[in-house]
Amino acid sequence: MIPYNTMVVLGGVALLGAAAGPIGALAVLRRRALVGDALAHASLPGLCVAFWLVGERFLPALLLGALVSGLLGVGVLAWLAKATRIKEDAALGVVLSVFFGLGVVLVGILQKRPGNKAGLDTFLFGKAAGLQWLDLLFLAGLALVGLTLVVALFKEFQTLGFDRDFAAAQGWPVARLDLLLLALIAVLVVVGLPAVGVVLVAALLITPAATARLWTQRLHRLLLLSAIVGALTGAGGAWLSSMIPHAPTGAVIVLVGAAFFLLSAALRGASWR
Amino acid sequence: MNRQTQDYPALFLRELSVVYHGRLALEQATLALDGPALVAIVGPNGAGKSTLLKAALGLIPYTGQVRVLGQPIDAVRSRIGYIPQRGSVDWDFPVSVLDVALMGTYGRLGWFRRPGRSEYHLARECLRRVGLEELENRQIGQLSGGQQQRVFLARALAQQADLYFIDEPMAGVDAATEATLFEVLQELRDQGKTLFVVHHDLRSVPEHFDQVILLNRRVLAVGPVATTFTADRLQEAYGGRVLALHEGMLTP
């Protein structure tokens, strides 16, 4: 029998995975998967600064800080790729490591302060068990908003992904739709930070989408499947990590996601393409 | 749109210039063309043919003036159809043949609204018109090049536009598809629509098109095929080689 508190946490992380799956699928289809990873790593310094400013572990404030520095990182990334000779993959490597390095240093400094109970280090690899009711409600709310937008704008994202010029010729604001998708990725990354952590949260976006992609050639099924796989990955990982002492949630979630992927790959065999 | 002669040109460009990747792709293009017509846009590689379509559609920055159906493009988008080059699309994208045809109806649907029974009906009707009704559930990437181009045409039909911009529809398609494409394009013209088609095969221009735009970064000539598609003009556009290749096929 799973204790009530654990159930609540599992539900929250499942919803998180259910939103991360389809948004991750759109990100993968628009070739934005690694941008999510850069954004996640770049969010750490902002999270630390927000903690330093607020002085306590107030999740909405921490995540707002994380969002700001994550988006700043993506902004720097876009600028580097555009204004310099550096290509996008190299720019991504630079931004990701520099921001993350700064974040790790800040975590170290803030953790050393006397009387500190922030547990900022849990944001590295995630800790679902530590989440409070109110935190979960906040995270679930944001995840639901993201999920709703994906469902509401299904045909817009479908057309944008398949044929951007056609979408633009119809007069659709394709640049703003791309920005909205980036915003959705950013929000999901940030919302996933407490449970999955900076280092591995991008995997929650990418892996369920990759798994689902092996099973279907239709976008609506892809989104539905990645939501289901995402929910199972999140909940399964959170539950397993609560059973294994000292296993960070994020790491276990990634392994569960990988298990789904490998199982699918084995079952799908030759029909991968 | 009605079939009577309009009092404005279907496409009007004044001093349209486009800088693309740091070079002048289109220089002071000025033209006015009346519809209904099937218009070939021809010129050598890098002449700015696709650029002209994209600028007319407002997809890339330009200087100068563009009027489509007598108005700025943003005012008439629901009446404009577009078939981009086949290479510009992600063919691995998880959509079926029917999904793509259905996209032709999305412009009229507006935000958030889902396609309903009439949209599905129209999309299937358009697929039947191009002979692909059997393949509606196939993933789009599993089709041959010619079949993919037919899906694009079905999507354009579903747009039910009055004016079409079509970028190299005949590139890399089989003979049967080419025949179907020309048949449908001419049918649309006969319904009173105007179609601008970027076209590479000079030999088939006199047979299939009414009007021609000869382009080589500048507009070299515009007008009816019979009087415009001449050896002199083509030589101006392409240089000497083309004459040897196509002697006897051109209007003297």
Contact B89 A162 (CB under 8 A): yes
Of the candidates A158, A165, A219, the beta carbon closest to that of B59 is on: A165
Q: Please indicate, yes or no, if residue A245 is contained in any of the structural domains.
A: yes
Higher pLDDT, B151 or B20: B151
Contact B95 A162 (CB under 8 A): yes
Q: Please indicate, yes or no, if residue B142 is contained in any of the structural domains.
A: no
Secondary structure E strands in chain A: none
Q: What is the CATH number of the domain that holds B69?
A: 3.40.50.300
Range of the domain at B221: 11-89+162-246
Chain A residues inside the 8 Å CB shell of B61: none
Chain segment A117-155, per-residue pLDDT in tens = 668 888 999 888 878 888 899 899 999 999 999 999 999
CA distances from A163 to A246, B125, B141, B186 (A): 47, 22, 13, 25
Chain A residues inside the 8 Å CB shell of B155: 166
Does pLDDT of B252 surpass 50? Answer: no
Of the candidates B78, B82, B106, the beta carbon closest to that of A155 is on: B106
Q: Among A5-14, B119-128, B225-234, which is the least confidently predicted range?
A: B225-234
Chain segment A228-251, per-residue pLDDT in tens = 999 999 999 999 998 888 888 999
Total count of domains within chain B = 1
List all residues 6 or more positions away from B194 whose beta carbon is below 8 Å from its beta carbon. B10, B11, B33, B35, B36, B37, B38, B39, B162, B163, B164
Contact B84 A165 (CB under 8 A): yes
Of the candidates B96, B114, B140, the beta carbon closest to that of A155 is on: B114
Q: Give the best residue of B57, B96, B103 to mutate against chain A (max A CB count within 10 A).
A: B103
Dihedral angle sign, alpha carbons of residues A24, A147, B140, B42? negative
Residues A165-170: contacts with CB under 8 Å, at least 24 apart: A165/B54, A165/B59, A165/B82, A165/B84, A165/B88, A166/B82, A166/B84, A166/B103, A166/B155, A168/B57, A168/B59, A169/B57, A169/B59, A169/B77, A169/B80, A169/B82, A169/B84, A169/B165, A170/B77, A170/B82, A170/B106, A170/B107
Q: What percent of chain B has pLDDT over 90?
A: 70
pLDDT attached to residue A23: 96
Total count of domains within chain A = 1
Range of the domain at A80: 4-267
Is the CB of residue A189 less than 8 Å from the CB of residue A27? Answer: no
Q: Determine which helix (DSSP H) or strand (DSSP E) holds A164, and give its type and residue range.
A: helix A164-169
pLDDT attached to residue A57: 83
**Structure tokens that stand for B218 in this block:** 């500048």
DSSP state of B139: B
Chain segment A74-87, per-residue pLDDT in tens = 999 999 988 888 88
Query: CA of A34, closest CA in chain B: separation in Å?
Result: 18
Higher pLDDT, B23 or A211: A211
CB neighbour class for A31 (10 Å; exposed up to 12, middle 13-18, buried from 19):
exposed
**Rounded CA separation A146/A168 (Å):** 23
Residues A264-272, mean pLDDT to the nearest whole number:
76
Q: Please indicate, yes or no, if residue A94 is contained in any of the structural domains.
A: yes
pLDDT attached to residue B3: 46
Chain A residues inside the 8 Å CB shell of B96: 217-218
Other Cβ atoms within 10 Å of A179 Cβ, number: 11
Q: Please indicate, yes or no, if residue B252 is contained in any of the structural domains.
A: no
Dihedral angle sign, alpha carbons of residues B81, B84, B90, B91? positive
b/e sequence B155-192, b meaning 16+ C-beta within 10 Å: bbbbbbbbbbbbbbbbeebeeebbebbbebbeebbeee
Contact B115 A159 (CB under 8 A): no
**Rounded CA separation A178/A174 (Å):** 6
Interface check B82 vs A, CB under 8 A: yes
Q: Determine which helix (DSSP H) or strand (DSSP E) holds B23, and give its type and residue range.
A: strand B23-33
pLDDT attached to residue B164: 96
Is the CB of residue B150 less than 8 Å from the CB of residue B131? Answer: yes
Q: Please indicate, yes or no, if residue B238 is contained in any of the structural domains.
A: yes
Q: Please indicate, yes or no, if residue A66 is contained in any of the structural domains.
A: yes
φ, ψ at B68 (rounded to 5°):
-115, 130
Nearest to B78 by CA among B120, B50, B106: B106
Residues B31-45, mean pLDDT to the nearest whole number:
91
Chain B residues inside the 8 Å CB shell of A158: 95, 99, 103
Chain A residues inside the 8 Å CB shell of B114: 154-155
Q: Please indicate, yes or no, if residue A91 is contained in any of the structural domains.
A: yes
Q: Is the peptide bond before B36 cis (omega within 30 degrees of 0)?
A: yes
Does pLDDT of B200 surpass 90? Answer: no
Q: What is the CATH number of the domain that holds A175?
A: 1.10.3470.10
Does pLDDT of A115 surpass 80? Answer: no
Q: Which of residues 165-194 of B touch A (CB under 8 A)?
A: 165
Is the CB of residue B219 less than 8 Å from the CB of residue B212? Answer: no
Interface A:B, Cβ pairs < 8 A: 76
Q: Please indicate, yes or no, if residue A273 is contained in any of the structural domains.
A: no
pLDDT attached to residue B241: 59
pLDDT attached to residue A224: 97
**Rounded CA separation A158/B115 (Å):** 13
Q: Please indicate, yes or no, if residue A95 is contained in any of the structural domains.
A: yes
Q: Please indicate, yes or no, if residue B149 is contained in any of the structural domains.
A: no
Chain segment B102-127, per-residue pLDDT in tens = 999 999 898 888 999 999 999 999 99
pLDDT attached to residue A166: 95
ipTM of the complex: 0.90
Q: Which of residues 193-222 of B touch A (CB under 8 A)?
A: none
User: By three-state DSSP, how is residue B108 classified?
Assistant: helix
Of the candidates B54, B74, B90, the beta carbon closest to that of A161 is on: B90
Q: Please indicate, yes or no, if residue B237 is contained in any of the structural domains.
A: yes
In which band, very low, low, confident or very high, does the pLDDT at B4 lie, cut at 50, 70 and 90? very low
DSSP state of A247: -
The residue in chain A having the minimum alpha-carbon distance to the alpha carbon of residue B107 is A170
